[in-house]
Structure 1
Amino acid sequence: MAGTRKFVKPSTPPNSEINVTPLVDVVLVLLIIFMVVTPLLEKDIEVRIPETEDVPVEQMPQDNSQLIVKLDADGTYSINADPVASDDYVNKLKRMLAAKTKEDRVVFFVADDKANYGKLVAAFDGAKQAGAFVLGMATEDIPLAPAGAPAGDPGAAPAPAPVQ
């Protein structure tokens, strides 16, 4: 009696298919929860948009103290429309920034679409070495002062147009 074992053989073979009914139930419950909770999560964010005014270029005040560095497609630098050699770029910018207070040491950059990105980064680094406090990037070409405009600094350009 101790030597014999009896095994119970199931009458049906094991079911190897996945039962998806519980999965569908869980997914539907989660869907309902998210559908109820989502409208409650929406919160209004108050945004104050400044009022803009279109000012013609001729009437814009000319600020001759702005420094605008332009990088052309061929890689040449110009500060306020005066071409500058790459070797002399940092020194000239340093001389121009030395006369300004720290908060007024703002340099704007305008780069041609086909300009070398490495040259633009080098211009940024050079401006920081020269003592620039704030670096700005203009997305559109900044027009030069009209021919009848009063001349301040030699080679100075107007302030960039406000972004709208």
Structure 2
Amino acid sequence: MAGSRKFVKASTPPNSEINVTPLVDVVLVLLIIFMVVTPLLEKDIEVRIPETEETPVEEMPQDNSQLIVKLDADGTFSINTDPVSPDEYVNKLRRMLAAKKKEDRIVFFVANDQANYGKLVAAFDGAKQAGAFVLGMATEDIPAAAQAAPAGDPGAVPAPAPAPAP
């Protein structure tokens, strides 16, 4: 009888269902850990915001040496309200910036909300190639009074018209 094997048959078939109790225990422990740790992770981010004040249009300093590049929704450039083709954009901006000291070579950009982002980046690159020292983004459009540029100075921004009296 040494050669025969005997097997013991289980009285119940094997259970193939997942035992949920340990799973629930682990999930509850993780939940408690996250509930304790989450308030510790919330840190205030300090942001310094510049103070602003409303200045009436007639009291604003008149600086006629600013360069404002506007990008319309259809992709056309204009420098101080003068339309410029993309081919001559860099050369015209270079001529305007050449007359200024390095620290005064500031170019502001105003882009339409529907303007192509790639064209705006190309305008930034073109301004840097033209010799701009500082690039700035304007959040508001050029005032309506500034749309008519004087013919004498192509690089000048016209003074805004005074506000009407109430």
TM-score normalised by the chain length of structure 1: 0.77
Distance 1:74 1:36 in 2: 53
Cα contact 2:146–2:157 (8 A) shared by 1: no
Specify whether residues 101 and 114 from structure 1 end up closer, same or farther in structure 2 by C-alpha distance, changes over 3 A only: same
Matches within 5 A, 1:10-159: 10-143=10-143, 153-157=153-157
- SS of residue in 1 equivalent to 2:23: helix
Specify whether residues 153 and 47 from structure 1 end up closer, same or farther in structure 2 by C-alpha distance, changes over 3 A only: same
- SS of residue in 1 equivalent to 2:25: helix
Tell me the CA shift for residue 157 of structure 1.
Answer: 1.7
Gaps of 5+ in 1: 160-164
Identity %: 88
- Aligned-pair RMSD on alpha carbons? 3.0
Tell me the CA shift for residue 67 of structure 1.
Answer: 0.7
Tell me the CA shift for residue 133 of structure 1.
Answer: 2.4
Cα contact 2:75–2:119 (8 A) shared by 1: yes
Deviations 1:13-60 (A, max 9, x none): 000000010010011111112222222333344444332211122221
Distance 1:55 1:152 in 2: 28
Gaps of 5+ in 2: 160-166
TM-score normalised by the chain length of structure 2: 0.77
